[in-house]
């Protein structure tokens, strides 16, 4: 494998996603690890899913489940929605599926059902959407959805003493399980950063594409960062989740 990229939250921004993939100049032996939240935000959520389904036929892809992806999967299967989901991007997703066939919706349901909750590579790097709380790792979570809703991991590393070494007795035990951890879920723009942010061994790649930020990828080996222009500039007549 030549290069491995972790890609942050997309939130329906197909135009930005296509621009990012072009920017990466992906080759056959590269790998793309998508950290979840493909939907809910800009107007092309359904189109993003179709694009990802096609992309996996050309490149090595790993698709992590995000909380918004789980919400959309439930809506596609049951027709049930709630006001909070609609308020946080669900309405745009519903509109993107308005004229889509049942055949396409079924294909998308299968894709969403096949998403993985987390991935660990051969260098003991963990990839997941949000975080985990169990001291023994995500596989031991009592509730499976913790890994795509949890914010405590990110809040913990932001508040940590940066001088703590992994061997220190106060160093968080869950961080010692992995060499590095890559997440999305909580935009770095909330702490006034428009690039991926690293605290301890955790890298947050969500740079706020659903709002006013860019769509971002990082080469996890070299730490080279690739970013599109702010995603809202691809959709000048839309509000996204702003």
pLDDT tens-place string over residues 182-197: 999 999 999 999 999 9
pLDDT tens-place string over residues 48-67: 999 999 999 999 999 999 99
The token duo for 241 is: 């989740």
Distance of alpha carbon 221 from alpha carbon 200, whole angstroms: 16
| CA distances, 149 to each of 66, 69, 105, 132 (Å) | 8, 11, 25, 9
The token duo for 65 is: 């489940």
Neighbours of 65 (CB within 10 A): 27
The token duo for 52 is: 């990802």
- Per-residue DSSP letter, 137: -
Q: Return the SS3 of 115.
A: coil
Instruction: Please check whether residue 51 is in contact with residue 104, taking contact to mean a CB–CB distance below 8 angstroms.
Output: no
Q: Which residues of the chain have pLDDT under 70?
A: 1
pLDDT computed for residue 1 by the predictor: 66
In words, the CATH class of domain 4-234 is alpha beta
């Amino acid at each position: 494998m030549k290069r491995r990229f972790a890609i942050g939250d997309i939130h329906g921004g197909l135009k930005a996603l296509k621009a990012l993939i072009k920017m990466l100049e992906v080759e056959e032996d590269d790998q793309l690890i998508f950290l979840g939240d493909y939907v809910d935000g800009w107007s092309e959520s359904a189109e993003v899913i179709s694009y990802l389904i096609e992309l996996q036929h050309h490149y090595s892809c790993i698709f992590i489940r995000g909380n918004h992806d789980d919400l959309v999967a439930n809506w596609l299967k049951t027709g049930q929605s709630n006001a909070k989901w609609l308020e946080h991007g669900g309405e745009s997703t519903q509109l993107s599926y308005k004229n889509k066939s049942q055949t396409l919706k079924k294909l998308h349901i299968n894709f969403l059902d096949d998403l993985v909750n987390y991935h660990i590579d051969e260098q003991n790097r963990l990839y997941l959407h949000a975080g985990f709380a169990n001291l023994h790792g995500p596989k031991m979570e009592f509730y499976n959805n913790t890994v795509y809703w949890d914010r405590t991991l990110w809040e913990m590393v932001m508040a940590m003493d940066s001088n703590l070494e992994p061997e220190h007795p106060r160093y968080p035990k869950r961080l010692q399980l992995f060499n590095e951890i890559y997440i999305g879920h909580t935009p770095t723009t909330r702490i006034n950063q428009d690039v991926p942010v690293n605290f301890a061994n955790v890298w947050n790649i969500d740079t706020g594409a659903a709002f006013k930020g860019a769509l971002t990828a990082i080469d996890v080996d070299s730490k080279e960062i690739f970013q599109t222009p702010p995603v809202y500039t691809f959709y000048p007549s839309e509000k996204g989740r702003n």
